Amino acid sequence: MKELIAPDPWTVVQEGFDPVENRVYESLFCLGIGLFGGRGNHEEQYSGDTLPGNYLAGIYYPDPTRVGWWKNGYPDYFAKILNAADWKPIHVEVDGEPLDLATAEIHEYRRVLHLRTGELERTFRATLPNGRTVAVEAVRFVSMTRQHLGVIRYRVTPIDADVALHLTLAVDGDVVNEDSNYDEGFWTEVSRSFEGSRVSVVSRTRKTGFLACTAIDYEVRLDGESVGSEPTAVDDRDRYMASVVDVEVAAGQTLAVVKYGANVTSRDVDGDDVTTPCYAELDEAAAIGFELLRTEHRAAWTRKWEISDVVIEGDPAAQQGIRFNIFQLNSTFTGDDPDLNIGPKGFTGEKYGGVTYWDTEAFCLPFYLATSEHEVSRNLLRYRHRQLGKAIENAEKLGFRDGAALYPMVTINGEECHNEWEITFEEIHRNGAIAFAIFNYLRYTGDEAYLLDGGLEVLIAIARFWVQRVSWSEQRDAWVMLGVTGPNEYENNVDNNWYTSLMAQWTLRYTAVALDIARRLDPEAVDRVAAAAGLDEDAERAAWADVADRIHLGEDPERGIFLQQTNFLDKELVTVDDLDPAERPINQHWSWDRILRSPYIKQADVLQGLWVFEDRYDLDTLRRNFDFYEPRTVHESSLSPSVHAVLAVRLGRLAKAHELLLRTARLDLDDYNNDTADGCHTTSMAGTWIAAVQGFGGLQVVDGELRIDPQLAPGWTRLGFQIQFGGAWLSVSADAGSVTVENRGDRNVALRLAGELREVPHQETVTFPGRS
Amino acid sequence: MKELIAPDPWTVVQEGFDPVENRVYESLFCLGIGLFGGRGNHEEQYSGDTLPGNYLAGIYYPDPTRVGWWKNGYPDYFAKILNAADWKPIHVEVDGEPLDLATAEIHEYRRVLHLRTGELERTFRATLPNGRTVAVEAVRFVSMTRQHLGVIRYRVTPIDADVALHLTLAVDGDVVNEDSNYDEGFWTEVSRSFEGSRVSVVSRTRKTGFLACTAIDYEVRLDGESVGSEPTAVDDRDRYMASVVDVEVAAGQTLAVVKYGANVTSRDVDGDDVTTPCYAELDEAAAIGFELLRTEHRAAWTRKWEISDVVIEGDPAAQQGIRFNIFQLNSTFTGDDPDLNIGPKGFTGEKYGGVTYWDTEAFCLPFYLATSEHEVSRNLLRYRHRQLGKAIENAEKLGFRDGAALYPMVTINGEECHNEWEITFEEIHRNGAIAFAIFNYLRYTGDEAYLLDGGLEVLIAIARFWVQRVSWSEQRDAWVMLGVTGPNEYENNVDNNWYTSLMAQWTLRYTAVALDIARRLDPEAVDRVAAAAGLDEDAERAAWADVADRIHLGEDPERGIFLQQTNFLDKELVTVDDLDPAERPINQHWSWDRILRSPYIKQADVLQGLWVFEDRYDLDTLRRNFDFYEPRTVHESSLSPSVHAVLAVRLGRLAKAHELLLRTARLDLDDYNNDTADGCHTTSMAGTWIAAVQGFGGLQVVDGELRIDPQLAPGWTRLGFQIQFGGAWLSVSADAGSVTVENRGDRNVALRLAGELREVPHQETVTFPGRS
């Protein structure tokens, strides 16, 4: 854990330049917006350690698989999100000397990410090796209203001498992925163009054949007047094109450059012409100008915050953490395109490639369900539905048949990319999360018609998988689920992982329920779905029911706990307190076999199930399981603390819950795991929202009923959050004594608040007494 | 399975040239002798598909590890036995046209491996594209008496025209390993030399710095007279040097070339001069000449066969198979050097790198114990003792302490090379085999003094490992062994693998026994060993006894079987008969997860334990376990059928045993697994001997007593084999009615024959009635 960022409710501030932590700051100061984004690299040249990163949503490369020992069923490639052309570079020379923060003497360096407006602001003074001192002020944003566009205003003021400024404004497509498996080049150049201030590079990805045009335009003004020499071109490297201008600037005068960057890919257009629409973006941006672009961008962020903000008063560290997390989530996925999803690092880094993990359904969906228009969540569901064919192929590759589907562990286009057998083939609980997401979407939105628009097909295919995946144990007289890896990846190839089997059981039962719901809506449509899937309804329903009714779910009656896996209690039942702190995190200090046979749990597993189905289990059951598993959980997955936080709140352990919430909320801001340099933990950020709103806010939907039950962590004076629910929009604000609910929607809403059924009329604000 | 080789008792014959199976034949026609060896590549140039391979014992390269996802504890490299300079090339041009079997028209091609004499003979006639026809006869051997030397006699006879022959006699060090992880070059050139007919290349291995000199000399004769132009040099590639001569040969005349090749490495010498001793080998060889070299070589093989031959009359397929296997084993390891071991492919291929697997102790040692001077086996034990420090380091890397040792899964210098966590870290039964080998050596040789010469140290270190590797299960009130992979690699990360736990229990008890034995021999020496190991004898003995007494060994009382692992009976208990033959071998047709959760067993596991400790278990116990596990064993390891064969003989199932013996015996001759192209399964070949001699011969040593109990498979008329035992040498020959034992040693031997105690006086031959 590092103290990099001072707590503040609405900003993330770096005070002073720090070359050692440069990569971490580059991750924290990432800006993205649905279709593209990139790391907080400097505009100027920088000869120090840096991880340049610009990413275009959905543009990937199938990097050939690298393994030591091949196992049947491994995929051929790992899809890597590609480092793409950079639209940002503004290289500056002052009297022939490069402005490079690695060689200059730097004063008053300050970088501010304005969470409220999505703007990155940077100010500093630099004294160059040639003795010249300049003051720089840079403002950057990627437009929330124009998802192809980025804008920079870059101002330079010579302090103590008249200087000649030499500016190189580039599109730099000469980039690589640091984690390429075989050092293959991922891009080939298609064309480069230079037309004065307008410069572009069009590249094509190898193998996948995506086209991408990145183009820039700019204007240079001195005291409001256009200035500068006639631009000249620099194109001395492949996939690189720059426009160069020279300006004489007097001491104290401020040269202002506004640079527009646009990215358009072949995903955005029919046909191959990515340049024309890219240029159109630039034309429009230049016509509107920096100020108006910023105004509309700020207005869009204001709307985003209105429906997604979480207020925590009395705890600026938590407040800052959760806002940073919400900012990243809204930057990464805007929900406009059902072929996009939420990468584990968003646009903040290239690690983990792929895009889609079970994180999406298990952790991110609840956030988007409660804080976005329902179309956003629906597009996450449609993503999986569009990939159903690939999931069925994937299952066939592993020996399943008759339309059973196994969704990939990691994917970008529906094909499996992961290649560790114990995860790729065995961490099958992801199928359960994908099925449950459909139910979760329905209970928040009431949009039952989605079942006929894809939901049912996905449920049937997953139910078929579970039926085939279990085997019959004569000695148990039960269906068993052998050879699985649960959410706790610190156990591999175990039998009867309780969480996995529970999700299977639930899917099998819910699929039958979903068929009933859908048939009530439109029996003929159900018949069409059934016919297309080749569903033998009576026989398959019977099989689903049989497996669901007779699946083995391990319990220890003595301890009153569910068994994470059949042999868990054979382990040495030590706890985290027995660990030498010097050996933590154990994944950096212990050999893999030692971790596997230890009782230490990487992330919520049985407790994950108790969270997913929290309405099913009484508090005593929860307490017994929590008290058994929590002390053995090392939380070495960023996805873990949030689930424990929710359950700790339920058990009234608010201090524990607060500790866990902070750990998630500030994971990247404090570089807790010493890996933020690679990028932020974007999908885990949804866990912060879960801990705050489902945990402290008490948000649940049970049998169609909305429930809240706000409680404040020690030190908190207020907790506020937003809920989208069945077309309604509630804004909740709780202090120590009362809970105020503002119904911003058009219909009255009934909800259960701390156990009491309440009603809030539309467009009204009602204050209720708080929890007694 | 392919029908490549017609059964014959003493030869392996290829009739007709077959470019499609060329790599398979290259494997089968490998020649090696302890210090070097190589594949059966042609002397001539060959433009078709070929796997050139020449290997120098103990000369390796640490190829950096390649994995998809790193796990703590993985080794940095995989030691690859290096493809080394080739001494064999004799490239021939006939009137300017290369003699290349890929382009010539070939007639009467015949290649014969003479097992009795260790000679490879090849004859053919070839019509070249230019119309010239030549007859070729090549004889090759690597000297059993001079382990640095190979010899070729190559004769060419133009059939129908006078021709100009252009001969290029090379040392070709310009070679690569096909399975290099990163296409690194493994060798650098040190020097090359040309002195007329003598040519040499000295190379150094990268990283490991081994030096190797490969040198040749030759003579060319026509009708007994030296002929040919003054040799000229060709050195147009790195690490390549050739001597070229031109000879005019009349139709019907025979040109005879004798080529001597010598290899000397820095392992053989003090200092860096590998050239002088290499030249000395050539000088001596040239002085002795082809015929006498062949005579002494043949005599040495005759002696080898006398003490190691197995005779199977009435079954030429089995006879040929076992002789081919014994030939390979004696070629691969001669037992002179305790730093050498038995590679899984010997000198026949480069796959699997490393050199030493548990195969050595579990399968090869019994063969060498019974068929070699005891120094050979002792050197195999010393190999592990010399690597004890590395085994302790390896265990420390995994979190063990206080002198516990975990021997590597794969090694060449004592360091672990393997990198699949489920094997590297979990297939720990290898430690048991290494401990048991010490006991096995003692019971065959009576050489108890070996305990003080290393045996005790190894046992103590392994016992310490087992004590630390178990953990206490409260619910079982027993020590458990969690997270292991047994010999059946089709289950990974299981709990309480019976075989592994049994070997652990045995080691713990035997280490205490060994301490007692050694103390009787030399109490002060034991004290020195104990002090050096820091042995707290009372406490550690108590811990060994406690773990041994209370270790969990799973049984199913209902079926009366031992449990391969705790959850085995949760599996769907289908058998191999339930498998679709089109899906076999399952490791080529099923995804890994499906294999893991199936009940199918790759190789003997519980039955391996019943074999190792066969004197402990009654026939009913054996039968119940055999009848449960054998039907579920797919024998997809080459190490598997032999163990099952022995047990089948014990159960009187001779037809089954015979089927299993043939599968091992002819694994490579019939290319049973379609992988002989990569090389032969050298270590598995010892299994053939085990099946024949321990199985059908009934050889056992129990409590110091030698037992035999020969039985004949269906169709067999005679089974003969040799036994070295406690300094004695018995030659056994059994037919349907009687067993004849010839005592070739100097002392009388008592043995139990088919249950009856018998004595055979020294230098006498006694015939006993056979099994009733």
Considering only CB atoms, A570 lies closest to which of B495, B573, B592, namely B495
Say how far apart CA B191 and CA B557 lie, in whole Å. 69
Query: What does the pLDDT read at residue A355?
Result: 84
pTM: 0.94
CA distance A422 to chain B (A): 8
CA distance B80 to chain A (A): 14
Catalytic residue among B415, B427, B489, B742: B489
Section B263-282 average pLDDT:
97
Considering only CB atoms, B570 lies closest to which of A476, A591, A596, namely A476
Mean residue pLDDT of chain A comes to 96
- The closest of A691, A62, A135 to A410, measured between CA atoms, is A62
CA distance A630 to chain B (A): 20
Given a cut of 90, whether residue A70 has pLDDT beyond it is no
Section A228-249 average pLDDT:
95
A478 vs B: CB within 8 A: no
Query: What does the pLDDT read at residue A65?
Result: 87
Buried b / exposed e over A329-344, threshold 16 CB at 10 Å, is bbbbbbbebbebbbbb
Task: Give, rounded to a whole angstrom, the gap between the first and last alpha carbons of chain A.
Answer: 37
Where does the pLDDT of residue A772 fall: very low under 50, low under 70, confident under 90, or very high at 90 and above? Answer: low
- 């003021």: which residue's tokens? A157
Catalytic site residue B572? Answer: no
Query: What does the pLDDT read at residue A599?
Result: 98
Q: Name every residue whose Cβ is closer than 8 Å to that of residue B536 and which is 6 or more positions away in sequence.
A: none
A474 vs B: CB within 8 A: yes
Verify whether the Cβ–Cβ distance B398 to A593 is below 8 Å. yes
ipTM: 0.92
Q: Which two tokens stand for residue B310?
A: 């197995």
Name residue B311's beta-bridge partners. B720
Say how far apart CA A418 and CA A408 lie, in whole Å. 8
Interface probe, candidates B591, B594, B596, chain A, greatest A C-beta count within 10 A: B591
DSSP secondary structure letters along A221-266? EETTEE--PPPEEE--STTEEEEEEEEEE-TT--EEEEEEEEEEET
Say how far apart CA B252 and CA B301 lie, in whole Å. 35
Calculate the CA dihedral of residues A316, A320, A323, A325 and round it to 10 degrees.
Answer: -130
- The closest of B716, B661, B655 to B688, measured between CA atoms, is B661
Buried b / exposed e over B276-296, threshold 16 CB at 10 Å, is eebbebbeebbebebeebbee
Count of CB contacts below 8 A, A vs B?
134
Q: Range with the lowest mean pLDDT among A16-25, A371-380, B58-67, B473-482? A: B58-67
The CB density around residue B457, as the number of other CB atoms within 10 Å, is 20
DSSP secondary structure letters along B563-583? -SSTTGGGS----GGGS-GGG
CA B132 to chain centre: 43
Considering only CB atoms, A475 lies closest to which of B570, B587, B594, namely B570
Angle, to 10 degrees, between the axis of helix B374-386 and the axis of helix B388-397?
40
Name residue B728's beta-bridge partners. B725
Task: Give, rounded to a whole angstrom, the gap between the first and last alpha carbons of chain B.
Answer: 37
Query: What does the pLDDT read at residue B361?
Result: 97
- Rounded to a whole number of angstroms, the CA Rg of chain B reads 27
Say how far apart CA B451 and CA A700 lie, in whole Å. 69
Given a cut of 70, whether residue B6 has pLDDT beyond it is yes
- The closest of A693, A683, A685 to A667, measured between CA atoms, is A685
CA distance A591 to chain B (A): 5
Given a cut of 80, whether residue A184 has pLDDT beyond it is no
**pLDDT, tens digit, 9 for 90 and up, residues B187-205:** 999 999 999 999 999 999 9
Section B617-633 average pLDDT:
98
Are B405 and B465 spatial neighbours (Cβ–Cβ below 8 Å)?
yes
B472: nearest CA in chain A? A572
**Residue B585, preceding peptide bond in cis (omega within 30° of 0):** yes
Given a cut of 90, whether residue B353 has pLDDT beyond it is no
- Going by their DSSP bridges, the two strands B97-98 and B187-195 should be labelled as unpaired
Say how far apart CA A74 and CA A218 lie, in whole Å. 48
Given a cut of 90, whether residue B71 has pLDDT beyond it is no
CA distances (Å), origin B498, targets A495, B555, B647: 18, 9, 18
B495 vs A: CB within 8 A: yes
Q: Which two tokens stand for residue B145?
A: 């008496």
Are A625 and A504 spatial neighbours (Cβ–Cβ below 8 Å)?
no
Considering only CB atoms, B571 lies closest to which of A482, A587, A589, namely A482
CA distance A543 to chain B (A): 18
Looking at residue A28, its amino acid is L
Buried b / exposed e over A245-283, threshold 16 CB at 10 Å, is bbbebeeeeebbbbbbbbbbbbbbbeeeebbeebbebbe
Where does the pLDDT of residue B528 fall: very low under 50, low under 70, confident under 90, or very high at 90 and above? Answer: very high
- The closest of B294, B291, B308 to B118, measured between CA atoms, is B294
Contacts B65 to A, Cβ<8 Å: 68
Where does the pLDDT of residue B64 fall: very low under 50, low under 70, confident under 90, or very high at 90 and above? Answer: confident
Given a cut of 80, whether residue B182 has pLDDT beyond it is no
Are A51 and A23 spatial neighbours (Cβ–Cβ below 8 Å)?
yes
Query: What does the pLDDT read at residue B178?
Result: 85
- 């929290």: which residue's tokens? A614
- Rounded to a whole number of angstroms, the CA Rg of chain A reads 27
Say how many CA atoms lie within 13 Å of B201 toward its Cβ. 28
Say how far apart CA A397 and CA B73 lie, in whole Å. 31
Buried b / exposed e over A417-446, threshold 16 CB at 10 Å, is bbbbbbbbbbbbbbbbbbbbbbbbbbbbbe
Q: Is A411 helix (H, G, I), strand (E, B) or coil?
A: strand
| Strand-by-strand arrangement of the A90-94 sheet | A97-98, A90-94, A163-172, A240-249, A232-234
Q: Which of residues 506-545 of A touch B (CB under 8 A)?
A: none
The single-letter DSSP state of residue A361 is I
Verify whether the Cβ–Cβ distance B471 to A597 is below 8 Å. yes
Helix, strand, coil shares, percent, chain B, to 5: 35, 25, 40
Angle, to 10 degrees, between the axis of helix A537-550 and the axis of helix A455-469?
60
A590 vs B: CB within 8 A: yes
Say how far apart CA B221 and CA B200 lie, in whole Å. 22
Verify whether the Cβ–Cβ distance B474 to A420 is below 8 Å. no
Say how far apart CA A168 and CA B595 lie, in whole Å. 60
**B621 vs A185, which has greater pLDDT?**
B621
Question: What is the CA angle B488-B489-B491, rounded to 5?
Answer: 85
Reported as type and span, the H/E element at residue B388 is: helix B388-397
B572 vs A: CB within 8 A: yes
Q: Which of residues 64-103 of A touch B (CB under 8 A)?
A: 65-69, 71-73
Say how far apart CA A351 and CA A179 lie, in whole Å. 7
Mean residue pLDDT of chain B comes to 96
Considering only CB atoms, A593 lies closest to which of B66, B421, B589, namely B421
Long-range pairs for A157-160: beta carbons < 8 A, 24 or more residues apart = A157/A249, A157/A252, A157/A253, A157/A254, A157/A255, A158/A94, A158/A132, A158/A133, A158/A134, A158/A249, A158/A250, A158/A251, A158/A252, A158/A253, A159/A125, A159/A133, A159/A134, A159/A135, A159/A251, A159/A252, A160/A132, A160/A133, A160/A251
Where does the pLDDT of residue B421 fall: very low under 50, low under 70, confident under 90, or very high at 90 and above? Answer: very high
